[in-house]
């Protein structure tokens, strides 16, 4: 298949979610261009808009059906970022709250963040299973101070604390413990905090945030590099292509990608898999380039969202590859390693019926395989709304029956 198309990618939900939290902590109206319309961002935005002012009690929380002083129930469904970011926000926000989510979200870890918040004086109790949602949070003023946080399972725990730190009278001195997973997301948090006038410095494994409030500034959300990875996959499976990705500019691959998003590394990785990235003004254009097929290695410890895409590409192209940094993939919307192994094993059957595993990234990584194997069926295609609502419209040429 020859593939020539012009694509406007969705906005980064990672940047959008951090921007919304900064505006909420800073107490100003968001002045953001290109805010994500993903399900995750919409959920977080709706929750933040529905909360009472910081100096209000839970009795004013009519939006969340607060009756007779009972806790306000906030259901973030399957939005992991909202779960981690809102836990800290509610802990230092006057009121009584129950924070809950989907059954899968109740299986995703929360304890490193809860332990750190309790060390800072937060009042948080587990409602069901120790270490997981639902949480009962009795919000109150927090002073900040010194704390340590285990980064092994997720960088979102550290980001959650850092985002709140400028509003605490003592600021925050936070030491990172354990393996430092998904560091590019933490670096994104720091860059965005500094854009809004926060003062943060890092010395080794310790971050120091001064108690200086955020200032309102305009901010433009970048297109989503994780979403771009699926177009790199389609380019890899094409015979010839020219895929223009609007607004996803980069200086030169050799000197690195000018982006807050760590998943921009996909541009460098895909040079090994036959797709070149060419800058054209404010856009990039994907084209086929020659490759010498050889064993490859990919480390996903800092880029977990790219695993389903690279796994599908290597399988589709019959490229031998060694994958490392997979430990935390079992903690995502699905166990992504198990899910991809299960679905990729179906290649060769007729007809192919893929399962979504309730995971947007699994679905979007599997869909381009239809370019190689012909029509495929997939259940619950709607899960792509979590990060890329327009995926099926943009990729309507794929032979996937939904």
Domain CATH number, residue 359: 3.65.10.10
Together in a domain, 74 and 152: yes
- Count: domains in the chain: 2
Together in a domain, 345 and 210: no
31: annotated active-site residue: no
Domain that includes residue 43, residue range: 13-220
Give strand pairing partners of 18.
none
Together in a domain, 306 and 182: no
Contact 68, 138 (CB under 8 A): no
Together in a domain, 266 and 344: yes
Together in a domain, 128 and 216: yes
Give strand pairing partners of 174.
147, 207
Dihedral sign computed on CA atoms, order 84, 86, 91, 97 = negative
- C-alpha to C-alpha distance for 30 and 218, rounded to whole angstroms: 8
Together in a domain, 213 and 229: no
Position 7 in a domain: no
Domain final residue, candidates 220, 246, 274: 220
Together in a domain, 173 and 309: no
Pairing of strands 200-203, 206-209: antiparallel
Together in a domain, 215 and 226: no
Position 1 in a domain: no
Q: What pLDDT tens digit does each residue of the chain (402 aa) get? A: 999 999 999 999 999 999 999 999 999 998 999 999 999 999 999 999 988 644 444 444 444 444 346 899 999 999 999 999 999 999 999 999 999 999 999 999 999 999 999 999 999 999 999 999 999 999 999 999 999 999 999 999 999 999 999 999 999 999 999 988 889 999 999 999 999 999 999 999 999 999 999 999 999 999 999 999 999 999 999 999 999 999 996 644 443 456 899 999 999 999 999 999 999 999 999 999 999 889 999 999 999 999 999 999 999 999 999 999 999 999 999 999 999 999 999 999 989 999 999 999 999 999 999 999 999 999 999 999 999 999 999 999 999 987
pLDDT of 59 reads 40
Q: How many residues does the chain have?
A: 402
- C-alpha to C-alpha distance for 15 and 203, rounded to whole angstroms: 24
Position 266 in a domain: yes
Contacts of 145 (CB under 8 A, 6+ apart): 120, 168, 170, 172, 173
Position 6 in a domain: no
Together in a domain, 80 and 97: yes
Per annotation, catalytic residue among 150, 305, 359, 394: 305
What DSSP string runs through 349-377? BSSEEE--TT-HHHHHHHGGGHHHH--EE
Cis status of the peptide bond prior to 134, with omega within 30 of 0: yes
Contact 73, 51 (CB under 8 A): no
Together in a domain, 367 and 257: yes
The answer to pTM > 0.85 is yes
Domain final residue, candidates 220, 235, 259: 220
Domain final residue, candidates 199, 220, 241: 220
pLDDT of 56 reads 42
Together in a domain, 311 and 194: no
Cis status of the peptide bond prior to 86, with omega within 30 of 0: no
Structure-block tokens of residue 79 = 């939005």
Query: What stretches of 27-144 adopt beta strand conformation (E)?
Result: 32-33, 72-75, 95-100, 123-126, 135-139
Structure-block tokens of residue 59 = 């009795």
Together in a domain, 210 and 241: no
Contact 221, 247 (CB under 8 A): no
- C-alpha to C-alpha distance for 310 and 229, rounded to whole angstroms: 9
Is 273 in a helix, a strand, or coil? Answer: coil
pLDDT of 250 reads 62
């Amino acid at each position: 298949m020859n593939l020539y198309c012009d694509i406007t990618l969705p906005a980064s939900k990672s940047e959008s979610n951090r921007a919304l939290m900064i505006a909420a902590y800073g107490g100003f109206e968001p002045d953001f261009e290109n805010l994500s319309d993903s399900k995750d961002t919409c959920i977080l935005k709706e929750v933040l808009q529905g909360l009472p002012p910081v100096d209000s009690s839970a009795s004013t929380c009519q939006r969340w059906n607060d009756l007779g002083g009972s806790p306000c129930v906030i259901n973030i469904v399957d939005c992991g970022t909202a779960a981690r970011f809102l836990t800290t926000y509610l802990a230092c926000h006057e009121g009584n709250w129950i924070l809950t989510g989907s059954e899968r979200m109740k299986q995703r870890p929360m304890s490193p963040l809860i332990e750190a918040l309790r060390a800072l004086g937060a009042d948080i109790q587990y409602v069901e299973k120790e270490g997981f949602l639902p949480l009962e949070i009795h919000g109150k003023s927090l002073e900040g101070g010194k704390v340590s946080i285990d980064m092994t399972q997720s960088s979102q725990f550290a980001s959650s604390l850092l985002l709140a730190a400028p509003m605490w009278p003592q600021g925050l001195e936070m030491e990172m413990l354990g393996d430092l997973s998904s560091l590019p997301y933490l670096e994104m948090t720091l860059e965005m905090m500094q854009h809004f006038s926060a003062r943060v410095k890092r010395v080794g494994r310790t971050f120091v945030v001064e108690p200086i409030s955020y200032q309102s500034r305009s901010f433009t959300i970048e297109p989503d590099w994780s979403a771009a990875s699926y177009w790199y996959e389609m380019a890899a499976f094409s015979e010839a292509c020219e895929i223009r990705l609007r607004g996803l500019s980069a200086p030169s691959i050799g000197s690195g990608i000018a982006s807050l998003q760590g998943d921009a590394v996909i541009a460098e990785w895909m040079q090994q898999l036959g797709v070149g990235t060419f800058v054209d003004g404010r856009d990039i254009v994907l084209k086929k380039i020659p490759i010498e097929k050889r064993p490859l290695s990919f480390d996903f410890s800092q880029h977990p969202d790219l695993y389903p895409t690279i796994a599908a590409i290597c399988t589709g192209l019959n490229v031998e590859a060694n994958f490392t940094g997979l430990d935390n993939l079992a903690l995502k919307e699905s166990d992504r390693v198990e899910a991809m192994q299960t679905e990729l094993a179906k290649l060769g059957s007729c007809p192919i019926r893929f399962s979504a595993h309730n995971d947007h990234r699994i679905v979007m990584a599997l869909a381009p395989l239809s370019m190689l194997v012909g029509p495929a069926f997939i259940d619950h295609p709607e899960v792509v709304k979590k990060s890329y609502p327009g995926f099926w419209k943009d990729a309507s040429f794929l032979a996937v029956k939904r």
